[in-house]
Chain A
Amino acid sequence: MFNKVLLRSSKLNYNPSIFQKISAVQRNVINITPLTNNNNNNININNQVFRNTQLSTKRTLVSKSLSQPPKDAMTTAREIAAKKNKKIVFLRTAFFITAGLIGLLYWAWPKHNFPYPVAKFLRKGLWEERDDNRDNNGMPNYQAALKYYLLALDKADEVGMSKISDDYTGIELKVAEMYEKLNMVDNASRIYLELSYRYYDCLRNGTYDIDEMEKPHYIQKDLRCVIKWLQFNMSSQPHPEVFQFAKGLLLSHLLLAEEELMAKSPEFPLNNLTKDDLQKQIEHKYSGTINFENMINEDNIFLDTDGYIALDLEQKSSYAWFPFKDEFFTARDLYSAMCLSTKDIASAVNYKLTTLKWMVLAGMAPGQIMLSQANLGSLLYLRGEEFEGKLNYLQKHPESLNSTNTEVVADDLNLTTTMRLYNKSKDECYKAAIECYEAIIKFTRNHSKLRFESNINGLNPSVSQAIVLSTYGLGVVNLHLDHLPQAEKLLNDSLSMSKQIGFAELTTEAENELKKLQAIKAEKKQLESKQKMDQ
């Protein structure tokens, strides 16, 4: 009976504490049997229940058999409770694991961020734009696509998508693309302009709330838009005002990127110019020397342990550049090109010199740095030609000398000093150009694997292009300096190499130069023969 009561109660209530209470009480009862008769009526009702049992076991031995049942009961109850506990623990674990898995799945599942109504129009747009649109004779239906993209954009405005998010701007880009396909170039270019303005506003004035670490991402997008806009608007001869505007646009957006670099890369040279310094620089464009520094050497060009092209993972100066470096240097090159187009070679050279240094800082691919230096060589050569032209002009028209049309900074401006300076600068430019080219050729000659890689013309076309361009450029300089045999050899080399790598433009140029060279040779022969005849 004792057992049964306990068991029943254990079935009714699994709370283990109750067992303990019961068992405690029951043991009291057992142990203090003699006392309970009269004194301890207040102990518990259970006492009464058990009293009969106790009475029967009155006197002496509380045997094992009697003390055993409570223990068994307790263990059973505990076991049941433990089982129950185990079940709960198991269920709980299972729940958490499932929840975790579902969360992981949700996280990993590809999803888009477009609200439903926008997504609907985008699907329609993409569907119309697909490459084998059977509803439109197997051609993409850009008109319909444009319509849907415009509707999607309207919906996105309605829903209130963030205008700076890649999703929203992505739709805008789609619209611009469609405009372009449908020859509505003005509309397209204005979209890019608006985008670049928006990014500028956001980055500069913090119109939209963006994460500091996300800034480079937006700078990248901004520069892409600016470059695209320039592609639209600089294609034909632009109006001078448009040209100036474009220059300003490009420059201000580049400066924004530079600000970012200054903030995040301690290695980046800080712009410590004061206004006075700046004014001086602007007034005196040219001080007479070229600060050319060869960048193609073992210190600057990183090759992996086997001598192949690689990027240095531990170049500390390069980290801040990474998200937008390609766009940044393209934009800078465009600026140089724009300077060149206004025949402002001095600015172009200066700008390119800085670009080259920064490219090394930014850890660009070796091929690109080489190509950049080759371009710098070409610019330097052009600059030298410019000086030479001026020199010739001054020789012929000494009266033209006045402070307005010379770049020379001199206290007393007279013909001889000016001419001497021009001459010196010319020589310096040619020297620097030759150094530029030769460094590239020498470096690639020393690193045979680089050369090997350049030959296969796969991933790094710029290496081979830089080599060919340098060879050609060196040929041209030699031709200009009247070193005909070297020039001929170099030009022939560049011709065969450019054919090999499919650098078509250079092939034609090299052929032209060779023709010129032959002409000069023929002229010389004629002269010689004439002289002989005269003799």
Chain B
Amino acid sequence: MGLYSPPDKSSSPPSSTDDNIKNAKSPNDADDTETIHFYNRPSIGLRMWGPLVPGSDCRWGLWTLLTIQTFIGYKFLRKFIKITFPYMTSNTTVKRNIADIPSLNRFGGKVGDPIYVLQPTSPNAVNPINTTTTTNNISSATISNLSRFGAGTRNINRTTINNSRNNNDKHWFTFTFKKNKNQNNENNSNTDSKYTNFTRVFYFVSGCGLLGQSLLEFLRLTFFDYDPWYEQAKAVREKAFFNDIQKYYREGIDPTKISVKVKDSKTGKLKDVTSDSGVLSSVAIARATMKQSSFLNKWYGPMDYKPLSFEEYLDRIEHFQEYNDSLHKLRGVNELITASITGDHKSHGSNLSKELEKLHNVNLKARNSTLKLLNNVPANTLGTLQNGDENSTTDSSSFLTFFQINDTVKIIPSMAKNYTNIELSNTWTLNDPWEKLAIETELGIKIIPNSRNFNDYNDLAEEKDSPSPATTNIGNNGQTSSPDKTSLLEEVDKQKSSHNSHQEE
């Protein structure tokens, strides 16, 4: 987590008070005055990656990092095993210079050194005293080996026999390995074993640590029902998108660089609409989308938010668990509320699945009968809604309507000659029915009161019911509505009230 301050600023030392904060680069904007607080993205098992950890809603990023970490951990552990139990792991031989094998080397120093060997007088009389070696650098080890000549011979025999008998190099080489350590490098053996021990411990600890951490993170990603960090990251991403749109909208378009012109259908003249709010907002949305789809943003999410602390994370999970335990009690109350408000109507409860099935069957029947009907009816005979209202709104002076989602289906690629050419994934996304429904159900509800003369009350109060009328103004924020859909939900008593209801944009 970091506070990234630009380098040219008066040298303020990295705030050591909060160790979550450290220095980082500021964005290279024209004005570098603002600093961006970058907090490490939270994680349970990937913390060692520090600022590399992706945002919690970047699932693919988390999995990638998790895989890498697991792989490294596995490698470490393997290395540890390789060092400790070499014969268990290697299917290739441990390569060792033959000169290092003591039992075979009692006459020679390093490879390549000239060795003088005296021919013994009798082949059977093996006397080490008679054997003199003169070389430039005869090691002490060689001399000590000489004194143990007999043992050396046995060694030769044993190794070769082992070698030829079971064709198993491993044993042989373990043997030489140990010999080498004990005898050849007596001076270095202490430090060497210390080093080996250190690496061994290091590989073991870090390998186990990494794998354990990976396991924790794996559990978080797969087995946790509820992940507050994920929820937060997702929400924050959406919020940042909104904020970006606002920001870019305010920035607007530099008219010296870009100008947007539209041909007026009536006059045929080019109209400059660069400063039109519709153009501005669509440019802002496009820029924000661009920013959203950048790799950095996809990986981290918005830069400058502070993730929930680990304690908060746990608190939320605890709350969630507690709540779920007491859910049944709460549901009882909730049902009571519903029942009390709606009178006789039973909210979906016990017989929900039956109702659902009934409904499904009715719909299925409708589907089948409609299919039959469609097969028998010529094209364009079934009634279609009049879209007159829509046309009138698209003619409005604001350019905004042009950029709103249209009611018609757009095909990708637009050059498609046949239905087989359609790129279904793109076309479906462009005409996503759920998005369309979202726009249709985005209602702007405004309640506009009207004043009344005091005399009115006399008439109104004649009624026994509550005398006040309803005044609601429910409009559809989308452009696709037709009048009867968006008209009032209420029965507004128009004669008695002076309130009006409207449909509005």
Contact = CB atoms under 8 A, between A and B. Distances in A.
A180 B440 CA distance: 13
Contacts of A21: 163, 169
Interface residues of B, number: 173
A4 interface: no
B272 interface: no
B467 A389 contact: yes
Nearest to A251: B338
Nearest to B279: A458
A224 B438 contact: yes
A33 interface: yes
Interface residues of A, number: 191
Contacts of B431: 126
B448 A378 contact: yes
Interface stretch (A194-202, A291-299, A409-417, A439-447): A194-202
A207 B408 CA distance: 35
Given A37-B123, A343-B469, A184 B448 contact: no
B69 interface: no
Given A20-B98, A191-B363, A264-B320, A177 B338 contact: no
B104 A313 contact: no
Given A141-B380, A247-B341, A255-B334, A383 B441 contact: no
B257 interface: no
B471 A139 contact: no
Given A200-B352, A227-B443, A340-B490, A71 B95 contact: no
Contact of A131 (B232, B406, B473): B406
Nearest to A107: B60
Contacts of B236: 313, 319
Contact of A386 (B336, B442, B466): B466
Interface string B335-364: 011101111111110001101100110110
Interface string A220-232: 0100110110111
A63 interface: yes
Interface stretch (B7-15, B258-266, B302-310): B302-310
B320 to A, nearest CB: 5
A313 to B, nearest CB: 4
B346 to A, nearest CB: 8
Contact of B424 (A123, A312, A374): A123
A337 B467 CA distance: 16
A111 B462 CA distance: 66
B315 interface: yes
B240 interface: yes
Contact of B419 (A124, A458, A479): A124
A231 B485 contact: yes
Nearest to B359: A194
A393 interface: yes
B437 A458 contact: no
A147 B368 CA distance: 10
B336 A275 contact: yes
B243 A31 contact: no
A341 B235 contact: no
Contacts of A124: 419
A393 B467 CA distance: 10
A259 B334 contact: yes
Interface stretch (B40-48, B80-88, B244-252): B244-252
Contact of A235 (B101, B330, B484): B484
A314 B309 CA distance: 12
Contacts of A396: 458, 461
Q: 7 smallest A-B Cβ distances: which pairs?
A: A341-B490, A393-B461, A131-B408, A127-B419, A248-B342, A234-B489, A322-B235
A73 interface: no
Contact of A34 (B123, B169, B464, B490): B123
Interface in B152-200: 156, 160, 163-164, 169
A504 B225 CA distance: 49
A360 interface: no
A24 B163 CA distance: 12
A28 interface: yes
B472 interface: yes
B446 A68 contact: no
A10 interface: no
B385 A382 contact: no
Nearest to A200: B348
Interface in A29-76: 31, 33-35, 37-39, 42-44, 58-64, 67-68, 71
B402 interface: no
Contacts of A393: 457-458, 461-462, 467
